[in-house]
Amino acid sequence: MGKQRSTKGTGQVRIISGSWRGRRLQVPDLPGLRPSGDRARETLFNWLQPGLPGARVLDLFAGSGALGFEAASRGAQMVTLVEQAPQAVAALRAARELLQADAVTIHHGDALAWLGQLPPRSLDLIFLDPPFGTELAAQALQLLETGDGLAANGRLYLESSLQEAPVTVAASLSLEREKQLGEVRMQLFRKS
């Protein structure tokens, strides 16, 4: 939960498109929680849209759930949110109930431990947006490489701080898209 908090939209995130377009989700006021902003999510989901309907999605370090709920709103078949902070998990469960999001499953626990238990090639898309200033992205990428949870041609979205060196990814992941937005590095990889 070491994410830096955005000053824009504090307390809520808005679903940009899909079946829940315009709906707002409550975000708990937790130290370090940094929901992805509208502009970053709009860019990301423009990149992802053709492959979202029917996709199996994992949102690690879910925080506000903005990425996972947006994916479900746009037609993902199954979305799993993994978050450790109890207040964030309570907010995610409340959002799931509010939206009647049957395709969304919420797991309260350590994202790295959960990632280590993934069945091989079980996911089409993984959102990896851990707290900045930690080694969690590198650790998660190592577990993904070892466990092989991403399906062939699956995609991995990595959000990181421009203040930090880019994380090394497995040779099986090729960079498909990259953008810098404010202090954030957005990278989309595809598994070969």
Q: What is the pLDDT of residues 110-159, one digit of tens each?
A: 999 999 899 989 999 999 999 888 999 999 999 998 888 999 999 999 99
Asked whether the beta carbons of 167 and 39 are under 8 A apart, the reply is no
Q: pTM for the whole thing?
A: 0.91
pLDDT value of residue 9: 37
* Cα–Cα distance for residue pair 171/137, rounded to 1 Å: 16
Confidence of residue 11 (pLDDT cuts 50, 70, 90): confident
| pLDDT score for 32 | 67
Give tens-digit pLDDT for 53-88.
999 999 999 999 999 999 999 999 999 999 999 999
Name the strand (E) or helix (H) holding 42: helix 38-48
Decide: 144 and 175 in contact? Cβ < 8 Å: no
Give the CATH number of domain 12-191: 3.40.50.150
Q: Residue ranges of the domains in the chain?
A: 12-191
* Strand positions, DSSP E, 45-120: 56-60, 78-83, 104-108
pLDDT at 91 (0 to 100): 95
- Asked if 157 contacts 128 with a C-beta cutoff of 8 angstroms, the reply is yes
At residue 23's C-alpha, the angle toward residues 32 and 21, to 5°, is 115
